[in-house]
Amino acid sequence: MESKNRILVQLYTKEDCSLCTKALAIIEKVARDIPVHLEKIDITEDKKIFEKFKEKIPVVFIGNKMAFKYIIDEIKLREKLLRCK
């Protein structure tokens, strides 16, 4: 169940994506300090999503706004999440 205190973070990803693995690790690390509701979205499961993001992953949305593409910076992620609180 999603808590109202948690910030929605969506990670667009797919298997065998090293940048996606790194992005997930950073998000999970930050989530230990800042409550987030993480949704991992496998782009290969939806044709429209795949066409939109196929070579642009990982992509991270915070709320409904794109926050990162390719490289996720831990400090910037923390700053963006804290601004959402």
Residue-wise pLDDT for 27-42, tens only, equals: 999 999 999 999 999 9
Does any domain span residue 51?
A: yes
Place of tokens 């790194």: 22
Residues lower than pLDDT 70 in the chain = 1-4
| Among candidate residues 41, 85, 83, 35, the one with its CA nearest the CA of residue 60 | 41
Give the domain CATH number at 21: 3.40.30.10
Which domain, by its residues, includes 63? 7-84
What does the pLDDT read at residue 85? Answer: 76
The total of structural domains in the chain comes to 1
Does any domain span residue 2?
A: no
Place of tokens 């939109």: 52
What does the pLDDT read at residue 3? Answer: 56
Does any domain span residue 54?
A: yes
Percent of the residues in the chain that have a pLDDT greater than 70, as a whole number: 95
Does any domain span residue 1?
A: no
Does any domain span residue 16?
A: yes
**In terms of pTM, does the model score above 0.75?**
yes
Report the DSSP beta bridge partners of residue 59. 12, 69
Does any domain span residue 21?
A: yes
